[in-house]
Every structure is written in C-alpha cells, then in structure tokens.
Amino acid sequence: MPRDSFSQAMSGTTGQPMKEGLLPLFPLEVVLMPEAPLPLHIFEDRYKEMIGVCLKAGEDPSRKEDFGVVLAKGQEVSRLGCSARIVNLTRTYADGRLDIFTVGSRRFEILVVNQEKSFLRGGVEFFDDDPGQDLPAETDAARAIELFRQVMQRIRNSPDIPIHLQRPYRYLSFRLAAPLPLDLDFKQHLLGVRNEPERVIEVIQAFEALLPQLDRAEHAREKAGGNGDVGGAHL
C-alpha cells in the first residue's frame, strides 16, 4: 500500500512529526490480538529494514523491539492496532528475507503518523481494558470455551480437540476469536472494546452464528461427495 494512502486513511492525523517514542507500523490484512501468535515472512525492503531496526533495538534491554500491526483493507487503514513482540527470528535468507515469529502484546490507537523513514511509524497511545472489566463471568467463559470447542471440532473434523487455557481468563475473548475464521471487521471491532465481559458475550454470539454455517457447509460438501475444506467460512 502506498504510504500516502495510509496518511489519507488517517484523516489528517499526520500533524507534526514526533521524534521520540515512535512505533514502527506494519499494515496487514489481518487483525492481531493480544497474546495471539503471528508468524510473518518479511520480503519487502522497507519491512526488512523495519524488522532489522526492531531486532537491533532488542539487543538493548532498555529499548522496545515491538512493532505495530494495523488492519489494512484496500485503501483503508485502521487507527486501532496491536503491537507485536518478536519472539524468534526463525529463518534468514541469502537475499535478506526473514521469517519471524511474533505474539500480540498491547492494543493502541494511532495519534500521529511519521513518514521520515521507508516504513511508517506512529505516535501511539496504548490502552487496556477499563478498570475492573478485564475478566469475564465464569458462566460466560465456560459457554464461550464450549462453543469454541464445537467450532474447532467442525473445522478440524475431529471429535478430540484438547483446549488448554490457564486461569484467570484474561483476554479469553481474544484467545478464542484470534484463530477462527471470523470476519475481519468483527475482529477489529473486538480490538477496540475495553470490556472483557462484553467481548466474551459478542464472541459467544459470533460462535453461535458460525456453527450453523459450518454445519451447512459440511452438509453441502457431503451432498456433493467432495472433501473440501470448510475452514474458510465467515460470519
């Protein structure tokens, strides 16, 4: 995506460039959520440079090595994103390409965009859930986990789906929604909700809507005598 398209999508938030505390930005057609894994293959020169900067910064314990992942759809880029922590540099190629493994960390809102480097950087404000709103009700958590199990059973076509979730169920909604084929706009909406009980309710509703779609897709596949993958079903 051209850099000026990103600026236009930000609706005039470029303002005065911020020299300190800028977060490198990586527009992608994905929604990264806190604690969700995200493997990436880095091949564009500007992002090879960006990841190189992040890796070098990580050598100094006092500096951050995170970068921000923001949803890009066509010419539209969201103001809300999630920082990605580089866990491993898993492979380097002779031509400079990289494979990295990252994990979602903290949500943020972009306040200002800086375009002084080949890659975008943003002055961001990180945010968490509202005070006292970071844990779901136990009954809702149990319901969400059970529905997640049912969805995974259909996607993987297996009755045995082990689910290992540690208590307390902080970010349960993100952990359950991230790996599933839910609509990107829905995932992006969840990212901005600062209330885990509310997010869990919305995830339950999403799973309840997704299950019949998966069942219909499986029924159609069986009727047609095929063996296609139903993993691409969306809300």
Do residues 11 and 120 both lie within one domain? yes
Number of domains in the chain: 2
Q: Is residue 94 part of a domain?
A: yes
* Residue 190 belongs to domain spanning: 138-224
Q: Which of 3-12, 27-36, 224-233 has the highest mean pLDDT?
A: 27-36
φ, ψ at 187 (rounded to 5°): -60, -40
State whether 109 and 22 are in the same domain. yes
Domain annotation covers residue 213: yes
What is the pLDDT confidence band of residue 62, given thresholds at 50, 70 and 90? Answer: low
Verify that 118 and 182 share a domain, yes or no: no
Domain end marker among 106, 127, 148: 127
Cβ atoms of residues 221 and 230 within 8 Å:
yes
231 in any annotated domain: no
User: pTM above 0.75?
Assistant: yes
Taking the CB of residue 17, how many other CB atoms lie within 10 A of it? 13
Closest CA to 196 of 140, 145, 135: 135
Based on the fold, state whether residues 113 and 188 are members of the same structural domain.
Answer: no
What element of type H or E holds 111? strand 98-114
- Quote the percentage of the chain above a pLDDT of 90: 69
Q: How far is residue 5's CA from residue 45's CA, in Å, rounded to a whole number? A: 19
DSSP per-residue letters across 63-101? S---EEEEEEETTEEEEEEEEEEEEEEEEE-TTS-EEEE
- List pLDDT tens digits, range 151-205: 999 998 888 877 888 788 889 999 999 999 999 999 999 999 999 999 999 999 9
Query: What is the predicted pLDDT for the residue at 83?
Result: 97
Is the omega angle on the peptide bond into residue 168 within 30 degrees of 0, that is, cis?
A: yes
CATH number of the domain bearing residue 9: 2.30.130.40
